[in-house]
Structure 1
Amino acid sequence: MGEKPKIEDLIGLGHSKLGFYKEVQEKIAELRKSNRALEHQRQHVQAILDGITDIVAVISPDYRIASVNHSFFEIYAQDSPEGGLCYDIFRGRSKPCHTCVLRDALEQNCVCRQDAMIAVGDHYRHFSITATPLRDSDGQPTDILVVKRDVTLEKEFQAKYYYAEKMATIGLLAAGVAHEINNPLTSIRGFAEGLQRRMATLADTVPDDALKSDFSEYLEIILKECRRCSGIVRSLLTFSPRRSPEFSRIGLNELVRNVLRILHHKLKQYPDRLIQRHLDEALPTIQANAAELEQVILNLVLNAIDAVEAERGAIVIRTRVADERRVILEIEDNGCGIAPEDQQKLFEPFFTTKPVGKGIGIGLSTCYHIIQAHGGEIQVASTPGQGACFSVVLPVTFRSGEP
């Protein structure tokens, strides 16, 4: 039989076990303390990211979203984007984008930037996107930090500024051109009308009936073209610097009725159902220039008539209250619609989608100019082949100097 273990040996073994247990407990305590510190640091970093109004996302090289900040949820209707593919979550695509700033940042291993129009819900937003590689200790990219800044309002204000600048330049040019055209045009028209008056006295002295007929026809053509040019000159003058129009309290519904009375003879050639009116009789009066707003309504209705088919056409004119400060006029048709690329240029001077001889592209830009002078907005929504809807938003009370 072997020797019995001594009491000192047994005590030493127990002591060593107790020592190991104590060391493990200390290590666990240190780990917990480190974990709490890491969690605190993580929360601190997340709080900083959530305080950034831009969308911030960390994305892996295989396009999967690792994390996002709070701003993501304010724009995108996604509960838990983590683990999802960025091109699906951000763009609604089934495969990576053709021009991918994330891929560029990975391949070039540097900060890359991109501007993009991205559909968010039913609207498009303009984003400025920056992709920054997150590198390991060897300098190799492991993830990509993507920052998306919504610059939609910025771009809209920028576009309005450039448009206003362009309109001011066109206005000065138009005033000069109109003046130079108007003077000789007045002379041509005056002499043509003089010849037309003398034709009555000379008719008996000219035996050639064919010559008299041609002469009368040519004079009528000259006068018709003079009147057309005079109309163009008047339209050009709407772009020139001018005094603020005189405003008074007027009813928008009454302006619509006035325009339809003006168009009464033209509308006779169309079915009675062509124009449907849905006018809010509780609409408050607005402070505006009646003649100028009638010009806008007339132009929009004539454009709608041109857009629809005679037999199947339908035009709806609506007025309604937007809120206590604004009213809305809508003119909608079921015509040919407007291509998306043309919608951005509709209100630019001299842009037209009509055939040659049908218009010179001044009508809608004049409408835009008038509505801006009234402190309002004019917008268009259209689907090609289904029609278009022009919306005019006007303040109930206009204050000079308001946008």
Structure 2
Amino acid sequence: MNADAAVVEEIADALVALLDDGAMAHDGAIFRTVIDAIADPIFVKDEDHRWILLNQAFCTLIGHDREQMLGKSDYEFFPKEQADVFWQRDAQVFVSGEPDENEEEITDIKGRVHVISTKKRMFVDAAGNKMLVGVIRDITERRKLEARLKVAERLMSLGTLAAGIAHEINNPLAYLMANLEFVEHELERAATGDRAGAFDPEWLSAMRAARDGAERVRTIVGGLKTFSWTNEEELEAVDLGEVLRTAVRLVSNEIRHCAKLVEQFDAAPLVWANPNRLGQVFLNLLINATQSIVVNDTSQNEIRLVTGTTTDGRALIEVHDSGAGIAEENMSRIFDPFFTTKPVGVGTGLGLSICHNIVEAFGGHIEVDSVVGCGSVFRVVLPAALAHQTPAPMEAIDAGAAASVEARGRVMIIDDEPELLSGLSRLLSRSHDVVTLTSASAALARLLANTEHFDVVFCDLMMPEMTGMDLHIALAEQAPEYLDRLVFITGGAFAPHVRAFLEDIPNTQLLKPINTRLLRELVRERVAARE
């Protein structure tokens, strides 16, 4: 229980004790003076869910006078969806007789939404009348502060990883560039020099190495989505091993310089969760593990990652480290917000608290075992995804059969990067007729001219003058037959309005750098569908 909830519960207990003593009946004026002196909003309702007592703090929070509210219910002052929640929770207390403690939202007279922590308890007077006593604490500003600190925690994690990520990108980038320069030089010699017309198989080896380097960079950059502000409420069946490997790639440089990494990935069920939020949990645990280890002999230090399945079928993830361990007196506070044993400037004290909240939000729990001087084990247990939440396995694609029946189609690609257009055109033009344009407005004019057809239209999401979103809107009004042929290519949707747009439309999206195999397959499917 956090500090706010504890204070609210103490006030509620004290109020019920006063009512038990008959304080309101004996001297109502003194009782009202006492509760008006309490800074937290207080209310008492009868069995008809109508207010029979309110303190001044409650009236100030809502913005209505006490006389306006007494004898009335939530439905006369709050939006129906909020009033429904209040009514249901109040009814639960009246029926069960058990206290209720929860966080709710409440809208004041000016339309401002407050986040409140509410403690409700039932009281029965000497005549047998049931009343509901409620104490509120407005935690709106606290939640805003926590949200800002969560951003700070995520950015601090990113800052911790920045040098390592740059190192991981620079390595493959170095041999990618070296191989490309070699091939460029050799091709110039083959075209004009002493090796005119010659072909050297080494060129293919160099190009394959360059492609491997580019793929490594693409994978690392893709892993950075862990820090992107995607829709964090969107849930899916998540492969824990895949999320863990992504987290390891981002923090591998830090691990390499302090400990050896051991991966023990046994079978674990898919879990119903948000992969980005789980990624943040694993990143925080890995960063904490590296920071707990005193770097001396790297070969003697170890970080061990374990996945598996519990005896009751839940997913298990463990992060072991051979670090300094956690003092016994700190174990009970390790998941408390703002608690940290790290030096000033290292972390916000929210990392493990965030991990705890994320894991619990997905129906799981997180715990820790630790021995000072020997290390710690953080253990995450999550419920398995239900059968209807697990996607059906994809059928394997027979590449040979696909190639043998592939029809030639017409493809339009719109992007303000000419080099990208050239590359994609080279990739597709052997099999399809490809038209490339650097302007969405020029593409719209060509589509509306209706003198040629296109099986699929790839369009960059963000471009100057006319964006991909603008093109989508224009096609919806003037050429709706092209809407389902529109595929967006994007380097990432960072602005809230762009993310909202993508969430509202069914169109396929391809992330840059584009996976060329998926690109070819997508074109093949779209062309085949229009034959």
TM-score scaled to structure 1, two decimals? 0.45
TM-score scaled to structure 2, two decimals? 0.36
Q: Point out the structure with max Rg over C-alpha.
A: 1
